[in-house]
Amino acid sequence: MQYILFLVFIISFFTTLFFIPYWIKRAKEIDLVGFDVHKLDKRKVVEVGGICVVAGFVLGLLVYTGLHIFYFKSDTKVLWLMSVLAAILIVTIIGLIDDILGWKKGLKQWQKPFLTIGAALPIIAIKGGTTIMYVPFFGAVDFGLLYTLVLIPIGVIGASNAFNMLAGYNGLEAGMGVIILSTLGFISWNLGYTWVAVVAFTMVMALLAFLIYNKYPSKIFPGDTMTYSVGALIAIVAILGNIEKFALFLFIPYFLEFILKARGKFKKESFAAVQEDGSLKLKDGIYGLEHLTIKFLSKIKKKVYENDVVYALYGFEIILAIIALTLL
């Protein structure tokens, strides 16, 4: 069994890894690039790299589905796996539209959450998840159809859009996705939801391959194509693995990001001002968790660089992951 799963993960990793150089080459030819605002030379970096991540994830999950049917002689989870694929492909298309139309010229703020409802439809169609949830002070509550028709869409919409907010620094989005999905995957496995864990780790492997090119200094940006897909998958894994409370806990940085973004009426960006030595400083206030991290780090060290911000946010998420695991 372990060797079969290893094959799925290897396929996801290497599909993404082999696809990226080709995408970088072709994207440059059609000028599908954006400026790296945290570099002094404002270098151009290839955009929409998330398409490579989704390609690796989809192929890995298709192989896993095929193994279920032809090797394990079982079709019990095939419908569920197909619904996950459908949901991710729908949200990928939405992210791709936003990326292709261009930053600041793409989908309007109200259109993004509205359109991402589509990614919840496949999960709603199969009545995914467990309608009974533990609510503090109330205990176990059966939400019935309210869970399927209201809570699932809210979860998918909220996670996909929130994950897209904490972004803009080399390696940040992919690294955070690796930490969160690895944690949820381990928890799912521990609770007996093996197939849900495989779904999570298939995306983790694609993200790890992407990080090779996306880490500082980045050669490719993920775009909404990846952030929407990873965010939606986090919600889907939480729903299908019945581990919503763990996902909510791991999303604390994104709740903080939402609050700080709200301070700027969602019009302020999380970028920083680049100094002559490449270090970062705040521009005009704190309107994102990235800004708060820069301010915190500046009290510890004289110079704060892009990598410092990314690693500090990784550290914050890892601490939350460790706490979540102790709650099992």
pLDDT tier for residue 105 given thresholds of 50, 70 and 90: low
Peptide bond into 217 cis (omega under 30): yes
Q: Is residue 192 assigned to a domain?
A: yes
Q: Is residue 294 assigned to a domain?
A: no
Q: Is residue 293 assigned to a domain?
A: no
Q: Is residue 137 assigned to a domain?
A: yes
What residues form DSSP beta bridges with 274? Answer: 280
Q: Is residue 141 assigned to a domain?
A: yes
pLDDT tier for residue 103 given thresholds of 50, 70 and 90: low
| Residues spanned by the domain of 18 | 2-245
Q: Is residue 70 assigned to a domain?
A: yes
Q: Is residue 310 assigned to a domain?
A: no
Worst-scoring range by mean pLDDT, 73-77, 95-99, 186-190, 269-273? Answer: 73-77
**Which contacts qualify for 318-323: CB closer than 8 Å, 24 or more apart?**
318/179, 320/249, 320/250, 320/252, 320/253, 321/179, 321/180, 321/182, 321/183, 321/250, 323/249
Asked if the model's pLDDT at residue 61 lies above 80, the reply is: yes
In total, how many domains does the chain have? 1
Asked if the model's pLDDT at residue 213 lies above 70, the reply is: yes
Inter-residue contact 239 to 199 (CB < 8 Å): no
Average pLDDT for 63-74: 84
Average pLDDT for 90-103: 86
Q: Is residue 303 assigned to a domain?
A: no
